[in-house]
Amino acid sequence: MTRATKWALAVGALALALIVALLPRSESVPPEPETDLGPARERAALAACVPDEGGEAEEFAGVEVHCLGDGSRVRFADALGDGPTLVNVWATWCEPCREELPLLAEYAARPEAVRVVTVQVQSSQEDGLRLLADLGVRLPALHDGEGATGPVRKALRVPAGLPASYVVEDGEARLVTKPRLFTSIDEIVNAVEGTR
């Protein structure tokens, strides 16, 4: 072996040792402290994510998310309940979402309304709870994660622009496109009845 080869091997071994030494070890990294969301959940007072009559949408059976109201892990299919459900995907930073959520709550309070479930995306649970409490919206709310994608967004193929609403019935989710943003109760009623 030449002298240059020996030096190259020595430098390579030293570099590898340095990289390994600097890599974080899982046992030495403390877990991030969890935020106590109890007071925020109490203030928001959201409806239960899973109704008494569970859902049977097998197409969504493997999709699990957190219930914003109590922090439990729930199956998306169970949250849909039995019969048609209006699913609204929203984010705290989305101004049109802030305008639409109270309309959805007003619609859901009507006796003839179908079940309405909201899905918060791309922001923390704490931010979502705060917004819903501030708006006085008590609808069932799921949290699909803070990242760019999540299990519900994948299952529904949610478009980039929010809000996005779907009528889910018999395991089939239909994106509401007319209108994309609800500005009245009548539009919500027409969208739900128009897809049935």
- List of domains in the chain: 55-194 (3.40.30.10)
What are the structure tokens assigned to 134, written together? 């501030």
Which amino acid, one-letter code, is at 174?
R
What are the structure tokens assigned to 25, written together? 């070890």
Closest CA to 150 of 132, 125, 131: 125
Note the pLDDT tens digit of each residue in 34-87: 578 989 999 999 999 988 776 666 778 789 999 999 999 999 999 998 889 999
Please indicate, yes or no, whether the overall pTM of this predicted structure exceeds 0.85.
no
Closest CA to 49 of 25, 71, 30: 71
Angle value at C-alpha 173, between 104 and 117, nearest 5 degrees: 30
pLDDT at 26 over 50: no
pLDDT (0 to 100) of residue 33: 44
Distances (CA, A) of 155 to 66, 98, 108: 15, 24, 24
Higher pLDDT, 43 or 32: 43
Q: What is the CB neighbour count within 10 angstroms for residue 180? A: 15
Cα end-to-end distance, the chain, whole Å: 78
Note the pLDDT tens digit of each residue in 96-155: 999 999 999 999 999 999 999 999 999 999 999 999 999 999 999 999 999 999 999 999
- Buried/exposed 66-92: b ≥16 CB within 10 Å, e otherwise: bbbbeeeebbbbbbbbeebbbbbbbbb
Q: How many angstroms from the chain centroid is the CA of residue 85?
A: 16
